[in-house]
């Protein structure tokens, strides 16, 4: 009896899927280059559904990682998975795809992180941020550690800074959108905030940014808070303190 080509392909596909489902997660070590920016330790489970007790990125511990590969990963050139990352200072959950040329794509991902853990060095080194930052990332594409595309909303709750002055900012909302490395982020305070914050941060393909942000007191802003604003920067013609800065986003 002759076996059809279709039957052979089906049997081969079932065999490959079985290998992926049953193969131990520790086999991943063989595919990570020695000079990889990402290192995984104490792997358990399978390649299909596994756990890494530690994820090390550029010598920093990102926390505990759980992953579950998506069936579509077998049909495309990109490795796709659902992941959960847990760390005492932050947590993240969503969908991740990885491809060649150091390509990473996040979809429908949520991130929660303490504001004082944000990598602000070089962007606002004189500012000490407090509060909690929640990010809802509809889509984010990273290529060679640079932002190529993004659509996300970021809520900084109980926002405050304790340096160079102590200042309660309330809730700050950031809407970021762009593609081909040209990203614009609009920054606004919520209606319940003590201060009126309005600004924009522009990012170019070389990861150079320019920030232009205005902070203005409201009629019900406490007097001591209003008096602190000039310590942040020079007052504009409308009474708002305008903060302008530019530089390169650290990677």
- Whether residue 153 lies inside any domain: the answer is yes
- Whether residue 180 lies inside any domain: the answer is yes
d(CA 48, CA 74): 11
Q: Are 3 and 12 in contact (CB under 8 A)?
A: no
Which pLDDT value is given to residue 196?
92
- Whether residue 118 lies inside any domain: the answer is yes
**Average pLDDT score, the chain:** 80
- Whether residue 31 lies inside any domain: the answer is no
d(CA 222, CA 234): 20
Which pLDDT value is given to residue 20?
54
Domain count, the chain: 1
- Whether residue 229 lies inside any domain: the answer is yes
Which pLDDT value is given to residue 222?
84
Q: Which domain holds residue 120?
A: 101-248
Query: What global pTM score does this model have?
Result: 0.80
Give the residues across from 93 on adjacent strands. Answer: 84, 110
235 pLDDT above the threshold of 80:
yes
- Whether residue 88 lies inside any domain: the answer is no
User: Which of 34-48, 200-214, 221-235 has maximum average pLDDT?
Assistant: 200-214
- With a pLDDT cut of 90, the percent of the chain lying above it is 30
Span 210-239, average pLDDT: 85
Q: When comparing pLDDT for 114 and 48, which is higher?
A: 114
- Whether residue 111 lies inside any domain: the answer is yes
Span 61-69, average pLDDT: 88
Question: How would you classify the pairing of strands 49-57 and 128-143?
Answer: unpaired
Q: Determine whether 89 is exposed, middle or buried from the number of CB atoms within 10 Å of its CB (0-12, 13-18, 19+).
A: exposed
Which pLDDT value is given to residue 244?
87
90-135 pLDDT tens trace: 899 999 887 666 788 899 999 999 888 776 554 454 557 788 899 9
Which pLDDT value is given to residue 2?
46
Span 67-74, average pLDDT: 69
What are 138's two structure tokens? 């509809």
- Whether residue 83 lies inside any domain: the answer is no
155-183 pLDDT tens trace: 998 887 776 667 778 889 999 999 999 99
Give the residues across from 217 on adjacent strands. Answer: 195
């Amino acid at each position: 009896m002759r076996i059809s080509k279709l039957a052979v392909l089906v049997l081969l596909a079932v065999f490959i899927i079985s290998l992926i489902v049953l193969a131990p997660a520790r086999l991943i070590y063989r595919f990570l280059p020695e000079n990889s920016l990402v290192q995984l330790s104490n792997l358990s489970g399978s390649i299909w559904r596994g756990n890494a007790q530690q994820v090390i990125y550029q010598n920093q511990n990102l926390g505990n990682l759980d992953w579950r590969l998506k069936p579509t990963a077998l049909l495309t050139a990109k490795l796709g998975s659902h992941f959960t990352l847990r760390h005492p200072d932050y947590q993240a959950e969503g969908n991740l795809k990885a491809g060649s040329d150091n390509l990473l794509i996040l979809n429908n991902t949520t991130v929660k992180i303490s504001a004082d853990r944000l990598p602000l060095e070089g962007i606002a080194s004189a500012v000490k941020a407090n509060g909690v930052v929640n990010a809802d990332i509809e889509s984010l594409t990273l290529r060679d550690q640079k932002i190529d595309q993004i659509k996300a909303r970021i809520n900084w709750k109980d926002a405050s800074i304790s340096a160079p002055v102590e200042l309660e900012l309330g809730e700050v909302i950031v809407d970021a959108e762009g593609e081909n490395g040209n990203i614009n982020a609009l920054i606004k305070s919520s209606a319940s905030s003590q201060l009126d914050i309005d600004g924009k941060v522009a990012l170019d393909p070389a990861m150079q940014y320019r920030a232009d942000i205005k902070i203005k007191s409201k009629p019900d802003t406490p007097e001591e808070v209003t008096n602190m604003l000039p310590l942040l920067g020079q007052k504009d013609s409308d009474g708002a303190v305008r903060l302008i800065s530019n530089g390169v986003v650290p990677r």
